[in-house]
């Protein structure tokens, strides 16, 4: 995506002075590369794209067209997948909060629900009993020790009750336990190595030679990032192939005595790994001032546009100017438009910067606009820009969008 001041200024004239830029071709490339690294080792690998990370219908539709699954954690996301045209059998439902009404809808529709708690398990049993002519598909979310932080999701596999609950479900003829699932936020290879080892031990414990339909190892993978960003994570950033070598190779070895058509699906739930580097956020510099010796630039954006990861780190930026000879400014903080003192998009930037410049913040595709609250201003548009052409895939929000759910009188 080649950018310059003239192009960004033209977009500003058409769409406003801040917006997201999407590169959907890069998303396709990431999807294909990620899946290929796993499939060349373990062919029966499937991507279940994490809708919560970035639920742009444009991107979710690409996943569906490529035969990928939808990984959803709410009725809202489930309805989006259905609206896009995803087959219910290609939807995996995760998350800790599923009402009986929603569970019944998911299960009777033919989707797979990864059960997260004893409460959900009992609800699934009730639904199965009330619908004896329907085959219901579930998985079990497994909770085990990865590091010193205790996850709040899933079943503790060390608890004897876990085995008893599994046996209870096995007795229900029309409720099929199709596999096991886990998900942790850790992105390092050591974490994934532990996950694979423990999931294999759970397969031995629960299935005792039977073959489940799937093993779902969840998400949490790093995407493609540059050196500037990698240095802020305090760890070695694995590549797609690094993850595949750790995960796919181990399952290939474990299931080596099975023919390919008998091996369970290896399900991956990437979000950030596919989408983070496919979007930029563009903001315009409207003021530069010095207060008590500190240089501060104010922009038309906000840290609330930056999302989850932009809150604690400096994302990579590029500055685009209409001037050839700009002033070099040292240690300038780039701030947002809100009334929050802590609204900074980048701290301690040193480089050329002037009023009227555009700043492009990279790696903004993950947990960004989906995290933007209707705080002070509505959200900005999202523009897909590829091969010299652009189209709006989400229009700028309006007053009416924000306040139509409120009762004024």
Residue 262 and residue 116 share a domain: yes
- Structural domain that includes position 114: 25-275
Q: What would the two tokens of residue 336 be? A: 């947002």
Concatenated DSSP letters for 23-77? -HHHHHHHHHHHHHHHHTTSSSEEEEEEGGG---HHHHHHHHHTT-EEEESSHHH
- Domain of 339, CATH number, reads 2.40.37.10
Taking the C-alpha atoms of residue 8 and residue 285, their distance in angstroms, rounded to an integer, is 13
Residue 151 and residue 80 share a domain: yes
CA neighbor of 321 nearest in space, from 284, 287, 347 = 284
- What angle, rounded to 10 degrees, do the helices at 240-254 and 189-207 form? 20
φ/ψ of residue 79, rounded to 5: -60, -35
Give the pLDDT confidence score for residue 330 in this predicted structure.
Answer: 87
Residue 292 and residue 193 share a domain: no
Residue 118 and residue 212 share a domain: yes
Boundary-marking domain end, from 221, 254, 275 = 275
Which residues does the chain have with pLDDT short of 50?
Answer: none
Give the pLDDT confidence score for residue 149 in this predicted structure.
Answer: 84
Give the pLDDT confidence score for residue 310 in this predicted structure.
Answer: 66
Give the pLDDT confidence score for residue 229 in this predicted structure.
Answer: 87
Total structural domains within the chain: 2
Residue 288 and residue 174 share a domain: no
Q: Distances from the Cα of 222 to the Cαs of 13, 56, 219, 238, 271, in angstroms? A: 35, 20, 9, 7, 9
Boundary-marking domain end, from 260, 275, 290 = 275
Taking the C-alpha atoms of residue 102 and residue 83, their distance in angstroms, rounded to an integer, is 16
Residue 323 and residue 176 share a domain: no
- Domain of 222, CATH number, reads 3.20.20.10
Residue 32 and residue 10 share a domain: no
Token pair 């079990």 in the structure block, residue: 140
Beta partners for residue 139, in sequence order: 114, 179
Taking the C-alpha atoms of residue 80 and residue 74, their distance in angstroms, rounded to an integer, is 10
Structural domain contains residue 409: no
| 3-class SS shares of the chain: helix, strand, coil, % to 5 | 35, 25, 40
Boundary-marking domain end, from 248, 275, 302 = 275
């Amino acid at each position: 995506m080649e950018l310059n001041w003239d192009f960004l200024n033209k977009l500003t004239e058409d769409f406003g002075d801040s917006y997201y830029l999407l590169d959907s071709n890069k998303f396709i490339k990431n999807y294909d590369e990620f899946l290929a690294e796993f499939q060349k080792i373990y062919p029966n690998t499937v991507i279940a794209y994490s809708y919560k990370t970035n639920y742009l219908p444009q991107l979710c539709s690409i996943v569906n067209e490529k035969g990928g699954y939808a990984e959803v954690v709410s009725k809202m996301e489930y309805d989006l997948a259905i609206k896009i045209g995803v087959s219910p059998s290609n939807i995996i439902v995760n998350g800790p909060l599923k009402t009986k009404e929603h569970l019944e809808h998911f299960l009777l529709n033919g989707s797979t629900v990864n059960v997260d708690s004893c409460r959900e398990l009992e609800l699934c049993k009730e639904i199965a009993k009330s619908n004896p002519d329907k085959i219901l598909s579930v998985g079990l979310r497994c909770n085990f020790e990865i590091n010193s932080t205790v996850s709040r999701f899933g079943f503790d596999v060390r608890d004897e009750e876990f085995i008893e609950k599994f046996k209870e479900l096995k007795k229900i003829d029309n409720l099929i336990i199709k596999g096991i699932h886990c998900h942790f936020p850790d992105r390092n290879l050591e974490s994934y190595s532990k996950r694979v080892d423990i999931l294999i031990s759970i397969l031995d414990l629960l299935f005792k030679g039977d073959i489940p339909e799937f093993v779902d190892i969840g998400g949490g993978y790093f995407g493609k990032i540059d050196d500037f960003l990698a240095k802020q994570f305090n760890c070695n950033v694995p590549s797609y192939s690094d993850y595949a070598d750790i995960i796919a190779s181990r399952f290939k070895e474990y299931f080596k005595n099975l023919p390919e058509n008998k091996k369970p699906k290896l399900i991956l739930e990437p979000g950030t790994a596919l989408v983070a580097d496919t979007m930029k956020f563009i903001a315009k510099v409207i003021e530069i001032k010095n207060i008590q010796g500190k240089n501060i630039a104010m922009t038309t954006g906000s840290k609330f546009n930056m999302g989850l990861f932009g809150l604690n780190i400096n994302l990579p930026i590029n500055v685009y100017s209409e001037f050839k000879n700009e002033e070099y400014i040292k240690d300038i903080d780039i701030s947002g438009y809100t009334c929050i003192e802590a609204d900074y998009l980048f701290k301690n930037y040193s480089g050329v910067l002037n009023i009227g410049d555009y700043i492009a913040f990279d790696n903004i595709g993950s947990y960004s606009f989906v995290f933007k609250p209707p705080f002070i201003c509505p959200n900005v548009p999202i523009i897909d820009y590829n091969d010299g052409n652009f189209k709006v895939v989400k229009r700028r929000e309006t007053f009416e969008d924000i306040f139509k759910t409120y009762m004024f009188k």
